[in-house]
Structure 1
Amino acid sequence: MYGLILRALQGYVLTTFGQAAWQRILSRGRFPSSGFEPLLPYDSLVLDQVLALSSAELDRPVPAILEDLGTSIIAGPHCAAPRRLLRFGGAGFTDFLLSLEELPDRARLALPELDLPDLRLDEVGPGLYRLTARGAPMELGPLMTGVLTAMADDYGALVLIEPWLCAQGPALTIRLLEARFAEARRFELSRAG
């Protein structure tokens, strides 16, 4: 999983801040100039170091970088595959949320060696949900916030997402304020051509 996050971070920094910023991050960390391979196993300390170096280079806090990274994974110019995988979760944002527990299995269909954390969604009230990524690194919290915010925008839903303290792993409280706040982005099951 760390390889995927590192590669996504690489793409985000390159696209948003440019080649020079990414090369300075790699150079300061004494990482290969080619960057990171998404399917190689990396230690969590590598991710921590790259995030700290990115924070210093970009003059932004790590949680803000991770949240923006999550958004770019869904809404970025070169990120159609993750969005498509997640949109198969349902016709509306509520259906999508309710399908999140199945996401690790769906992702393994595309990448069998991928080991995503166990996701648990609890409906704690009308339009109020709690999502927990059991056993996942805490960095996943802001990343999930970015992904879910982008998906809500994709569905045209208005949501409020806040971190929630949980000993089992990163957790979020998701309040669905309005399911049809804006026009949803177009999505078709099959691609033309």
Structure 2
Amino acid sequence: MYGIIYKAIEQYVVNSFGNTRWETIKSDSNIPIDTSIMEQPYNDDANYKIAVTTAKHTNKPLDEVLFDFGEHIIKTTSENYSIFMESRGNTMRDYLINLPNFHNRMMLIYPELTPPEFRVSNVEGNALVLHYISTTKGMLSFVKGYLNGLMKIFKEMPEVKVINSENEINKEYTFKISW
């Protein structure tokens, strides 16, 4: 997924605030981003820093920017890289169950990739628990946006409850998702 993440963030900022604002945000964030290179490694720290810079230059609350980033990554992936979506399943439930395996395969293909870790547990007929583990604090709104984007793509409206948030020791968010 490397550069797809940055491409999605760029498209969100350009569509919402214009190309000039994107260039300012990119420059001010001091993160070397070339959205024409799809094999560019990324990590949550870089995404968070870009979100902080975007919030600063747009006067939007940081949580809102993070939510929008998460949601837009799914939108961009669905519209421009549908093979990535299709390879993970035809329903949101299947997608989430396959997401950890997909990330593991991507890390084998792209060893410089440092994505967050997804795990799924307690899979039942109508529910599952999704774990999002990251070395970056403050990504809860991002994951909520990501899940909201999935709901829109799959046209499903499961109940999503945050059952565990990060703390000083644990940088994991846990969600119970029920259909």
TM-score, with structure 2 as normaliser: 0.72
RMSD: 3.4
8 Å contact kept, 1:66–1:139:
no
- The structure having more radius of gyration, on CA atoms, is 1
SS in 2 for 1:152: helix
8 Å contact kept, 2:25–2:57:
yes
Once structures 1 and 2 are overlaid, which stretch shifts more, 149-158 or 163-172? 163-172
TM-score, with structure 1 as normaliser: 0.68
Inter-partner Cα distance in structure 2 for 1:103 and 1:2: 13
SS in 2 for 1:158: coil
Residue in structure 1 matched with residue 83 of structure 2 by the alignment: 84
Q: Give a deviation string over 1:2-34, Cα, whole Å, max 9, x none.
A: 97655543332112211122233345x2748xx
How far the C-alpha of 1:71 sits from its partner, in A, is 1.3
> Going by fraction, where is helix more abundant, 1 or 2?
2
Residue in structure 2 matched with residue 36 of structure 1 by the alignment: 33
Inter-partner Cα distance in structure 1 for 2:77 and 2:118: 27
8 Å contact kept, 1:89–1:100:
yes
Structure 2, unpaired ranges of 5+: none
Inter-partner Cα distance in structure 2 for 1:63 and 1:142: 5
How far the C-alpha of 1:59 sits from its partner, in A, is 1.7
Inter-partner Cα distance in structure 2 for 1:78 and 1:157: 15
1:4–1:139 distance in 2 versus 1, CA, 3 Å: farther
Residue in structure 2 matched with residue 175 of structure 1 by the alignment: 177
8 Å contact kept, 1:3–1:41:
yes
Inter-partner Cα distance in structure 2 for 1:109 and 1:75: 25
Greater length-normalized contact order (CA 8 Å, ≥ 6 residues apart): 2
Q: Give a deviation string over 1:86-145, Cα, whole Å, max 9, x none.
A: 332223222222212212123336644323233211227663332222343234432222
1:13–1:153 distance in 2 versus 1, CA, 3 Å: same
Q: Give a deviation string over 1:146-171, Cα, whole Å, max 9, x none.
A: 22222222222112334432453231
Letter in 2 for 1:154: I
Inter-partner Cα distance in structure 2 for 1:48 and 1:116: 13
8 Å contact kept, 2:13–2:21:
yes
Residue in structure 2 matched with residue 51 of structure 1 by the alignment: 51
Instruction: Count how many residue pairs are aligned between Structure 1 and Structure 2.
Output: 172
Letter in 2 for 1:171: Y
How far the C-alpha of 1:51 sits from its partner, in A, is 2.6
> What's the % identity of the aligned pairs?
20
Residue in structure 1 matched with residue 165 of structure 2 by the alignment: 165
Residue in structure 1 matched with residue 65 of structure 2 by the alignment: 65
Once structures 1 and 2 are overlaid, which stretch shifts more, 118-127 or 153-162? 118-127
Letter in 1 for 2:94: D
8 Å contact kept, 2:43–2:113:
no
8 Å contact kept, 1:133–1:171:
yes
1:153–1:50 distance in 2 versus 1, CA, 3 Å: closer
8 Å contact kept, 1:137–1:170:
no
